[in-house]
Structure 1
């Protein structure tokens, strides 16, 4: 088992430090730690505000990529790297977490060491310094050892900078916006991994369509989709598995920004927004299609096809140098030209996607109105999710969303699922998990 001192993500991050005037960046948000090193554990899912791991990336390539974790979690690194260098670093700095580490040091005479114990022991040469009482001390010692006193250091967590200051005097810089800009352009390895995810996303959306039928209970539909995702190593967005674009009140579809609970079983003619979201291999699935229970009316089918054509016209503009701010007008003008009522009800959002579902390379707060109105300029290597939702009142809503890799030529779709209306039958057979 090998542990390379770097990886494509860390190399990209390091290459951008100089332009920011940074000598190093200290990362303690789970997204950023995973980005720089590949490290992640179940502890991050606890949602603690206090960080449970960190990574340090130095502008000087002769300095090691540093992973800072609880000593007891060395076994997790070994597990991550069983099938290859998923977790990459040049050195490990360890710290205590509660009393887990103290307890783990005691040898159980009745337990024989296995391959995992051997793999964890093999990390010994990469562990530098003594185990520190906490994460702050571990980061401070690492920075001091690598001559960072008096240097300009970026942090994605200001509290960590404040706690370190008495021990390692430095010039603090906020690295939040910087890290989003780093992550929004993908490395070749990330694009390869997302293509694999795209095939799985296609299966998830196909399964979602297959469990829809007249009389189906919406909560049961969501549970079946959630079960399918979990059985295929996808972590659902939550226990509902999907973002449902509205709910039915009697016979009226009431659009909602995100999920609302349906209060009756699905009926023939109902429109269902299928937006399956989840995490696979550290990346977000975000695929959206529209389904109808039973044969759609000719008018609704035409409306959906007009929206699809508008969507494809916007996709054609996904090229390097184009601003995402120009896309909504393209969709609006097409719907208007085809006589679609209130084309102003078309919502178009283009956003980066990867470790987070929304990676918008604009200054914080990027999720406000300027994230769409100002937009951002596309660069080769970006992964961009194009989300198009028409909140049509007369015939009902239409929604579709795809992820595209921005290339020097035409954009590459990460999903192969057709952009066509899904017509759900009266009965359905669930697709088996693989």
Structure 2
């Protein structure tokens, strides 16, 4: 069968050729979804053991392979109901506990329906017999495609170790390699993220709209979570937002990584709205700052200086520039405009996509290297620019946007204004008599 159009797999193959890989075996959920588009609720269980795999061969004549539990064939039909979201040329199946055994028994009282027909239509793509586990299914596919003795990359070393007796091979760890592959998006991925951006704008607008003097912080978060879920965005957790909360009674700390709140919002409180969640596999990561009631002149000035520094950094986002150069641009602008302790400015530029932090540097990239060393921008990257001033004098300010790197000016994925959000006081929320 001719392999369906899959620009992500094509990019992966090109880069495999540059690195000399004959095949890569991917079992991390993000890598599987990248290569073939497959995902399921099972990946959200957070199991240590992979529930699916994808095999990509450098030779385009060999089949792009999806490895899944036999019982999940119907799920592939669901994923492709509205279009080819899951693309592959071959399926290898394996048992998952006893789900697959049970599913083989036909229920005489139940019509398989359209889903059953669509699942059965994939029968020609299923190769080999159902294997006892995922490693056996991967080994069978590799052996059938002549991979013994070849250089094979794995994003999970246990998979390599498990199959080495059956398919001897030259092992390579491809976790860092896959990050370099994924960080530059295909045209189809950029189109998908533009839709994510529209949702992000709606979420941040809603979040600003539920703030007011007297609002309960926990209730605010619950409302934002509900709004996100109803708009097909999976919140990062039950709180939806990254920042804000309480440590002791009667205290609200806007730049604390989120905890439970224990008091109502008051006049003058600063609220950092960083709403995080997942839509269509891609992360929403948008950040704005709000204040309860009119801000002081000093705080408004500080926010405006930070906004202008942010715009200056955005103006530098071009192919070939290094993200390591961005913090100095922001620092110098704050210093030149009299902002107290400009050293309190934190600037992080990171890729975003199937993960909130996609940094194409060798492991461990989330340490100082992610900022100090940085990475060079390439056309097609999605870059999240995160600027947080911890505000030693009048309080913190924070803003974050995602941009597509183009040959010219960067394309913003979010349209929400970078301005300070001013939430109403209690008197402004009371109904008129």
Q: Distance in 2 between matches of 1:424 and 1:53?
A: 46
- Name the residue aligned to 1:392: 391
Contact 1:352 1:385 (8 Å CA) reproduced: yes
Cα separation, 2, equivalents of 1:321 and 1:245: 36
TM-score scaled by length of structure 2: 0.96
Task: Name the SS for the 1:377 alignment partner.
Answer: coil
**1:52 alignment partner in structure 2:** 51
The structural deviation recorded for 1:125 is: 0.5
In 2, distance between residues paired with 1:255 and 1:212? Answer: 13
SS, match of residue 318 in structure 1: coil
Q: What aligned pairs does 1:36-185 form with structure 2 within 5 A after superposition?
A: 36-185=35-184
Aligned to 1:209: 208
> TM (normalized to structure 1)?
0.96
Q: For 1:336 and 1:112, how far apart are their aligned partners in 2?
A: 71
Deviation at 1:258, TM superposition (A): 2.1
Q: For 1:345-424, what aligned pairs fall within 5 Å after superposition?
A: 345-424=344-423
Deviation of 1:37 after TM superposition, in Å, equals 0.6
Residue 196 of structure 1: aligned partner: 195
How far apart in 1 are the matches of 2:98 and 2:251? 56
CA contact (8 A) 2:240 2:277 kept: yes
In the alignment, is the contact (CA less than 8 A) between 2:388 and 2:396 conserved in 1? yes
SS at match of 1:69: strand
- Counterpart in the other structure of 1:432: none
**What are the Cα deviations for residues 153-195 of structure 1, in whole angstroms up to 9, with x where unaligned?**
0000000000010000000000000000000000000000000
Q: Which runs of 5+ in 2 are unaligned?
A: none
The alpha carbon displacement at 1:253 in A equals 5.7
Alpha-carbon distance, 1:261 to partner: 2.9
Using the TM superposition, give the Cα deviation of residue 247 of structure 1 relative to its aligned residue in structure 2, in angstroms. Answer: 4.2
5+ residue gaps, structure 1, are 430-434
CA distance in structure 2 between the aligned counterparts of 1:246 and 1:217, rounded to whole angstroms: 11
Counterpart secondary structure, 1:153: strand
Shift of 1:14: 0.8
Say whether the 8 Å CA contact 1:222–1:241 is kept in structure 2.
yes
Count of aligned pairs between the two proteins:
428
Q: Is the 8 A contact 2:69 2:96 kept in 1?
A: yes
Give the Å deviation of 1:256.
4.6
Query: Within the alignment, does 1:303 sit opposite 2:302 as a pair?
Result: yes
Q: Secondary structure at the match of 1:55?
A: strand
Q: Deviations over 1:18-42 (max 9, x none)?
A: 1111100000000000000110001
Contact 2:3 2:63 in 1 (8 A): no
Say what the alpha-carbon RMSD is for the aligned residues.
1.6
Alignment of 1:253-268 (within 5 A): 254=253, 256=255, 258-268=257-267
